[in-house]
């Protein structure tokens, strides 16, 4: 008897082709997006990082000249890298801790929780430029209300955005003020922690710190990781607040013979994304801007990979 | 810092498998980086088509050209529109579509992209960009047009203005009104301090600045002069205008480490900072200043008794009516260059023709009219209180005769007045010099010569990179 269920090779190939076609059709939205928004820009960025290209004239191959200039001659590279890493470490840590702390407090508030949620979430909705200008006004030494208040209380009056030692802490303060996004995420995670686990821990004699350490933290660890990873990626792209604060505090409008100082004061708010903009759109040195963008990308990827690989060690998860 | 919005930012079920989570996060990072990279390059990968050619306007064919400018105030846009109307009346076959309030960034992007909506004629307030535009041939060289119409630039425009409107012999722009910098002084404060005339040399200036300074607590009731480089127009470039510095040698390399005038300027400024109370005290006072371009300007409020500023301030002060008498004079010069008193730093607006324009004949007619027609230049200068940009217009009897404004007309006519030369990478060399200034005035860089050498090296490397 012939094997009725055995398809012929040609028919099998046709079937496989149809299935492959269907699979590709279903995947095409992602594939097109990947090609257009990731593969092409990344390949272009690598390509142009070895070219001299000013956006006006045809690109010419220059080998490693752009990379050499970036590492050895561009006066703001290392400072921008140091500032960005400072912000990644300090701002992401403080924002995460503060967001979690506010989220925990609000979930425990018995009355008026709605008011506190709104009060802490509203600043997040403020446009970054407006929020930064408001902070620059409030903290302005000499004329700012915060400065006056500190003076009245007999406390030191820092230069905030005008003092290189205080400019990054001032930006961090601004970041913590707009922590509403993290607060909402943490609140959702905290409310998902099973109550019975707290009850069991209490029966075992666990105190508040032990309940947080052995019940809350393991349950919300994926959210902590999410907050840290997205925070690192956002901070690596930190641009608007830093440049607005620098411009407002420096008072320099710009024009011939009057150049805006990158990262005012003394380069302390200069970040890698500003460097990419400065090279690409102010100096029209697109090739070196590409090299800088690749460095930014590589550091972001390295941080993300490190965090994801070490998450159990960092967060105490199994 | 503001985080992501939308559903992905608020996961309700945090328990994900260990293997799936890293992939998703990597994709997030990759997508973010990819989007940023695309945004960076989507606008950058277009060429600039060559324009030119005869558009037929000379033969009477009707042509419409587009003119982009940066003016935005009502009196400014009215003045430019009046000028354009007069041009259209004298050139009935050329129509001008005027687009105002265009910043340099926007026009640069438009010129990169080209296309039907790109401008034919462009003006810019930032003379620092001339080197970039000329070297990349984004703006057309106007020399053939000037020759064709028998216009000798050296006999038409003040030399400082010609310097900032060309790069290495390529006259890719022309001056369209200018700015000159001089001294504003508080006559009431001068009288109170027993000073009878504005200072002419730095020695006199320092003595007056000290006399005019009235301490109050940790700060000042009145400061004679704000020398710190963030004191609005108190920049290295503006001070160096009083020394007549060249910035670059004949070989095109930065000569700031070998030109003694540059070291003299940095030394003079730092000494003045010390005499007026020191960097920290001055800096604290400076951070309390109001917006430079408002009635809260520290000279207008009386916080400083002398200031270096441009001619436009005469109009602002006339409007703001401060509670004291004021006057203008040329900014003082170094004691060893006393004979050059009357000079000043000069800059201004530039205008050019987009290389991509296919209507360059008509575009040149507009540029020629706006930059060389004496009546047009004088009317425009009077309307917006800027310095006229031709030698003929500077001598015109129709010019605003206000003595405070005349100070700046004289500075513009002074053959010793100077400017910052065009560079292939724009004003990057001025940023480097400014940064050295911040380091030196604050004491972070104690060795000026070492700082100047490092800065010269930095400037040369940046120019080499841009070539």
3-state secondary structure of A52: strand
Q: Do B237 and A284 touch (CB under 8 A)?
A: no
Tokens 């050296």 locate to B154
Q: What tens digit of pLDDT does each residue of B143-169 get?
A: 999 999 999 999 999 988 998 999 988
| Nearest residue of chain A to residue B138 (CA atoms) | A56
| Pairing mode, strands B174-186 and B94-99 | unpaired
3-state secondary structure of A259: coil
Which of A80, A258, A266, A317 is most worth mutating to test chain B (most B CB atoms within 10 A of its CB)?
A258
B465: contact with A, CB 8 A cutoff: yes
| Nearest residue of chain A to residue B424 (CA atoms) | A283
Which segments of B311-418 are extended strands (E)?
A: 326-329, 346-353
For the residues B219-235, what does the mean pLDDT come to?
92
User: Residue B195 corresponds to which tokens in the numbers above?
Assistant: 């000073």
Per-residue confidence (pLDDT) for residue B24, from 0 to 100: 41
Between CA B3 and CA A270 the distance in angstroms is 21
Query: Could you say which of A38, A181, A296 has the minimum Cβ distance to residue B31?
Result: A38
For the residues B437-456, what does the mean pLDDT come to?
94
Per-residue confidence (pLDDT) for residue A259, from 0 to 100: 58
Per-residue confidence (pLDDT) for residue B207, from 0 to 100: 97
| Nearest residue of chain A to residue B350 (CA atoms) | A256
Q: What tens digit of pLDDT does each residue of B302-330 get?
A: 999 999 999 989 999 999 999 999 999 99
Per-residue confidence (pLDDT) for residue B34, from 0 to 100: 44
Per-residue confidence (pLDDT) for residue B31, from 0 to 100: 44
A267-306 b/e (C-beta count within 10 Å ≥ 16 → b): bbbbbbbbbbbbbbbbbbbbbbbbbbbbbbbebbbebbee
Report DSSP state, residue B346: E
Between CA A69 and CA A54 the distance in angstroms is 15
Question: What average pLDDT does chain A have?
Answer: 87
The interface predicted TM-score of the complex, written ipTM, equals 0.72
Q: Do B127 and A256 touch (CB under 8 A)?
A: yes
pLDDT at residue A222 above 70? yes
| Nearest residue of chain B to residue A161 (CA atoms) | B287
Residues across chain B = 467
B20: contact with A, CB 8 A cutoff: no
Confidence of residue A154 (pLDDT cuts 50, 70, 90): confident
Percent over 70 (pLDDT), chain B: 89
Between CA A240 and CA A248 the distance in angstroms is 12
Between CA A264 and CA A259 the distance in angstroms is 11
- CB < 8 Å from B in window 56-75 of A: 56-58, 65-66, 69, 73-75
Per-residue confidence (pLDDT) for residue B201, from 0 to 100: 97
| Nearest residue of chain B to residue A40 (CA atoms) | B38
Q: Do A256 and B45 touch (CB under 8 A)?
A: no
3-state secondary structure of B231: coil
Give me the residues paired with residue A61 across strands.
A51
Per-residue confidence (pLDDT) for residue A7, from 0 to 100: 63
A256: contact with B, CB 8 A cutoff: yes
State the virtual CA torsion across A128, A134, A135, A138 in degrees, nearest 10. Answer: -170
Query: Could you say which of B16, B111, B289 has the minimum Cβ distance to residue A222?
Result: B16
Most confident of A121-125, A267-271, B367-371: B367-371
Between CA A158 and CA A155 the distance in angstroms is 9
B233 CB-near residues (< 8 Å, 6+ apart): A258, B181, B292, B307, B308, B309, B310
Q: Do B12 and A44 touch (CB under 8 A)?
A: no
Query: Could you say which of B15, B34, B138 has the minimum Cβ distance to residue A38?
Result: B34
Between CA B57 and CA B121 the distance in angstroms is 15
Q: Say if CB B343 and CB B200 are below 8 A apart.
A: no
Q: Do A56 and B241 touch (CB under 8 A)?
A: no
Dihedrals phi, psi of A153, to nearest 5 degrees: -85, 0
Q: Do B435 and A267 touch (CB under 8 A)?
A: yes
Q: What tens digit of pLDDT does each residue of B44-86 get?
A: 333 344 555 577 887 888 999 999 998 888 888 999 999 999 9
Q: CA of A15, closest CA in chain B: separation in Å?
A: 31
Q: CA of A208, closest CA in chain B: separation in Å?
A: 23
Query: Could you say which of A230, A241, A288 has the minimum Cβ distance to residue B465?
Result: A288
Q: How many CB pairs under 8 A join A and B?
A: 241
pLDDT at residue B443 above 80? yes
Q: What is the pTM of this model?
A: 0.79
Q: CA of A278, closest CA in chain B: separation in Å?
A: 10
Per-residue confidence (pLDDT) for residue B109, from 0 to 100: 75
Confidence of residue A170 (pLDDT cuts 50, 70, 90): very high
Q: CA of B96, closest CA in chain A: separation in Å?
A: 26
Q: What tens digit of pLDDT does each residue of A63-119 get?
A: 999 999 999 988 889 999 999 999 999 999 999 999 999 999 998 887 877 888 888
Q: What angle do CA B243, B249, B255 make, to 5 degrees?
A: 65
> In Å, how far are A291, B40, B334, B432 from A75, measured between CA atoms?
15, 22, 31, 8
Q: CA of B92, closest CA in chain A: separation in Å?
A: 34
Q: CA of A119, closest CA in chain B: separation in Å?
A: 16
Q: What tens digit of pLDDT does each residue of B4-37 get?
A: 333 332 222 223 333 333 344 444 444 444 444 4
Query: Could you say which of B37, B105, B237 has the minimum Cβ distance to residue A45?
Result: B37
Q: What tens digit of pLDDT does each residue of B249-292 get?
A: 989 899 999 999 999 999 999 999 999 999 989 988 888 888 78
Q: Greater confidence, B105 or A66? A: A66
Confidence of residue A4 (pLDDT cuts 50, 70, 90): low
- Before A265, cis peptide (omega within 30)? yes
Q: How many helices (H) and strands (E) does chain A have?
A: 17, 2
Query: Could you say which of B48, B128, B230 has the minimum Cβ distance to residue A56?
Result: B48
| Nearest residue of chain A to residue B34 (CA atoms) | A38
B16: contact with A, CB 8 A cutoff: yes
Q: CA of B136, closest CA in chain A: separation in Å?
A: 6
Between CA B298 and CA B322 the distance in angstroms is 11
For the residues B380-408, what does the mean pLDDT come to?
92
For the residues B451-463, what does the mean pLDDT come to?
95
3-state secondary structure of B135: helix
Per-residue confidence (pLDDT) for residue A6, from 0 to 100: 63
3-state secondary structure of B175: strand
Query: Could you say which of B30, B179, B289 has the minimum Cβ distance to residue A38?
Result: B30
Domain architecture of chain A: domains with CATH: 78-283+295-315 (1.10.3720.10)
Give me the residues paired with residue B418 across strands.
B345
B243: contact with A, CB 8 A cutoff: no
Percent over 90 (pLDDT), chain A: 53
Between CA A43 and CA A51 the distance in angstroms is 13
Q: What tens digit of pLDDT does each residue of B239-260 get?
A: 999 999 999 998 989 999 999 9
pLDDT at residue B388 above 60? yes
Between CA A162 and CA A261 the distance in angstroms is 12
Q: Say if CB A186 and CB A95 are below 8 A apart.
A: no
- CB < 8 Å from A in window 120-139 of B: 125-128, 132, 136-138
Which of A39, A47, A55, A133 is most worth mutating to test chain B (most B CB atoms within 10 A of its CB)?
A55
Report DSSP state, residue B242: T
Per-residue confidence (pLDDT) for residue A258, from 0 to 100: 56
Confidence of residue B3 (pLDDT cuts 50, 70, 90): very low
User: Residue B89 corresponds to which tokens in the numbers above?
Assistant: 């009346």
- CB < 8 Å from A in window 358-417 of B: none
Q: Kindly list the residues from chain A whose CB atom is less than 8 angstroms away from the CB atom of residue B111.
A: 56
């Amino acid at each position: 008897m012939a094997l009725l269920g055995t398809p012929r090779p040609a028919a099998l190939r046709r079937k496989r082709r149809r299935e492959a076609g269907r699979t590709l059709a279903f995947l095409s939205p992602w594939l097109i997006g990947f090609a257009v928004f990731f593969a092409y820009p990344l390949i272009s960025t690598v390509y142009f990082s070895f070219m001299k290209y000013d956006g006006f004239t045809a690109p010419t191959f220059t080998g490693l000249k752009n990379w050499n200039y970036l590492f050895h001659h561009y006066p703001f590279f290392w400072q921008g890298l140091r500032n960005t890493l400072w912000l990644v470490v300090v701002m992401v840590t403080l924002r995460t801790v503060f967001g979690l702390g506010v989220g925990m407090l609000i979930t425990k508030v018995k009355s008026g929780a709605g008011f506190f949620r709104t009060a802490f979430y509203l600043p997040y909705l403020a446009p970054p430029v407006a929020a930064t200008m408001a902070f620059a006004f409030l903290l302005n030494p000499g004329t700012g209300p915060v400065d006056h208040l500190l003076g009245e209380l007999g406390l030191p009056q820092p230069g905030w955005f005008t003092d290189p030692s205080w400019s990054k802490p001032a930006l961090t303060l601004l970041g913590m003020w707009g922590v509403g996004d993290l607060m909402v995420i943490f609140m959702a995670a905290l409310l998902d922690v099973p109550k019975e686990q707290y009850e069991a821990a209490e029966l075992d004699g666990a105190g508040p710190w032990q309940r947080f350490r052995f019940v809350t933290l393991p349950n919300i660890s994926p959210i902590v990781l999410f907050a840290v990873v997205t925070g690192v990626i956002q901070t690596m792209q930190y641009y608007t607040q830093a440049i607005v604060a620098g411009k407002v505090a420096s008072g320099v409008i710009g024009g011939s013979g009057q150049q805006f100082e990158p990262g005012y004061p003394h380069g302390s708010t200069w970040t890698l994304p500003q460097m990419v903009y400065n090279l690409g759109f102010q100096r029209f040195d697109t090739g070196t801007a590409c090299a800088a963008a690749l460095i930014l990308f590589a550091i972001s990827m390295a941080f993300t990979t490190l965090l994801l690989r070490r998450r159990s060690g960092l967060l105490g998860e199994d | 810092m503001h985080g992501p919005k939308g559903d992905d930012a608020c996961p309700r079920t945090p328990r994900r498998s260990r293997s799936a989570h890293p992939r998703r996060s990597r994709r997030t990072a990759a997508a973010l980086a990819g989007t940023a990279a695309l945004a960076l390059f989507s606008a950058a990968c277009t060429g600039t088509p060559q324009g030119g050619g005869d558009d037929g306007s000379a033969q009477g064919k009707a042509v419409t050209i587009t003119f982009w400018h940066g003016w935005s105030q009502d009196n400014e846009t009215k003045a430019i529109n009046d000028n354009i109307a007069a041009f259209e009346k004298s050139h009935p076959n050329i129509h001008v579509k005027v687009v105002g309030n265009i910043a340099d960034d926007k026009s640069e992007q438009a010129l990169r992209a080209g296309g039907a909506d790109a401008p034919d004629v462009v003006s810019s307030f930032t003379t620092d960009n001339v080197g970039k535009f000329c070297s990349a041939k984004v703006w057309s060289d106007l020399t053939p047009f000037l020759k064709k119409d028998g216009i000798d630039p050296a006999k038409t425009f003040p030399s400082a203005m010609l310097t900032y409107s060309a790069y290495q012999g390529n006259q890719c722009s022309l001056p369209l009104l200018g700015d000159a910098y001089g001294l504003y002084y508080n006559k009431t404060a001068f009288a109170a301090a027993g000073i009878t005339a504005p200072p002419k040399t730095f020695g006199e200036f320092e003595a007056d600045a000290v006399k005019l300074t009235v301490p109050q607590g940790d700060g000042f009731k009145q400061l004679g002069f704000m020398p710190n480089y963030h004191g609005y127009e108190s920049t290295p470039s503006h001070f160096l205008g009083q020394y007549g510095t060249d910035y670059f040698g004949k070989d095109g390399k930065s000569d700031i480490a070998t030109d003694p005038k540059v070291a003299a300027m940095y030394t003079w400024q730092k000494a003045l900072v010390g005499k007026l109370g020191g960097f920290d005290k001055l800096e604290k006072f400076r951070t309390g200043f109001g917006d430079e371009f408002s009635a809260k300007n520290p000279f207008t409020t009386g916080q400083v008794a002398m200031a270096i500023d441009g001619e436009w301030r005469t109009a602002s002060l006339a409007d703001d009516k401060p509670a004291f008498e004021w006057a203008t004079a040329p900014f003082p010069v170094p004691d060893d260059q006393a004979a050059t008193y009357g000079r000043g730093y000069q800059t201004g607006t530039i205008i050019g023709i987009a290389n991509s324009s296919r209507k360059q004949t008509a575009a040149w007619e507009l540029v020629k009219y706006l930059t060389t027609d004496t009546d047009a230049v004088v009317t425009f200068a009077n309307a917006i209180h800027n310095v006229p940009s031709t030698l003929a217009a500077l001598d015109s009897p129709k010019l605003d005769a206000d003595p405070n404004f005349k100070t700046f007309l004289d500075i513009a006519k002074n053959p010793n007045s100077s400017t910052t030369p065009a560079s292939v990478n724009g004003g990057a060399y001025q940023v480097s010099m400014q940064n050295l200034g911040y380091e030196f005035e604050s004491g972070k860089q104690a060795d000026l010569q070492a700082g100047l050498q490092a800065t010269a090296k930095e400037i040369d490397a940046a120019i080499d990179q841009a070539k």
